[in-house]
Amino acid sequence: MSPLTIIVAATKANGIGINGGLPWKLSKELKYFAQATTNAPEGHQNAVIMGRNTWESIPKKFRPLPRRKNIVISTNPHYNLDTISTSAVLAHNLKSALELSHAQTPNLNREFIIGGATLYTEAIKLPPSPTEPYVDRVLLTRILAPDFKECDVSMSDFLQEEIDGKKVWARASHKELEEWVGFGVAEGELEENGVTYEFQMWLRGV
Ligand code: FOL
């Protein structure tokens, strides 16, 4: 079964959002998000799977995110995506979202879980299986400074999880990150509007 990738930008304390949006304005970081989630071999397309709050956090004029199948999860059976585009579809739970992703995306390449906190937590809990989808990779943009202590949404600290005293997640090299995303990525500490951050990739070890 196809692996899933989480993509997220988070502070060192795992803050990811405030007031229904992102805590920072990092245009190059968002370009990286767009490129990493869009890039696919000729004739193929990726899917981005998100919770309803994340869908609503994307400015109306930018959604559905172009050149990607957008799958939005809401448990509300009457939720209206409010778009005429067929590239956005509604699912009512993660399992059906993954089924829809395959059913609705001919030439499906990769599937990304793009948030928010509730969906990250649910996706990370899918147990590794040879036949069922599970998260084996995290594209993390670590926001190094400032702290953004005012964040009102945080992701769980799953990268620090241990089983039998052994870390579940291991950081990959920058070269591995570039090879996987398929384009050149700035390395080390980057700066935009006084915010410093770093592009990282983490892989499930066990
Ligand atoms: N992961 C990372 N690394 N950074 C993020 O900002 C991020 N944001 C979300 C999920 N994972 C992330 C959820 N929030 C857009 C806006 C908010 C958002 C996700 C995407 C958005 O407007 N994306 C456009 C913008 C491209 C651009 O400005 O160049 C896109 O086409 O992807």
Q: How far is CA 81 from the centre of its chain?
A: 20
Read off the pLDDT of residues 35-83 as tens digits, 9 standing for 90 and up. 999 999 999 999 999 999 999 999 999 999 999 999 999 999 999 999 8
CB of 44 closer than 6 angstroms to any ligand 1 atom: no
Its domain, for residue 127, covers 4-204
Predicted TM-score (pTM) above 0.90? yes
Query: 201 CA distance to ligand 1 centroid (A)?
Result: 17
Å from CA of 35 to ligand 1 middle: 10
- Cα–Cα dist 123/135, whole Å: 7
Residue to probe by mutation, ligand 1, list 33, 35, 113, most atoms within 8 Å of CB: 33
Domains: count for the chain:
1
What is the tens place of the pLDDT at every residue in 110-134?
A: 999 999 999 999 999 998 888 989 9
Cβ neighbours for 60, distance < 8 A, ≥ 6 positions apart: none
The CATH number of the domain where 112 resides is what? 3.40.430.10
The pLDDT, as a whole number, for residue 1 is: 58
pLDDT band at 206 (very low <50, low <70, confident <90, very high): low
Query: Residue 107 Cα, ligand 1 centroid: separation in angstroms?
Result: 23
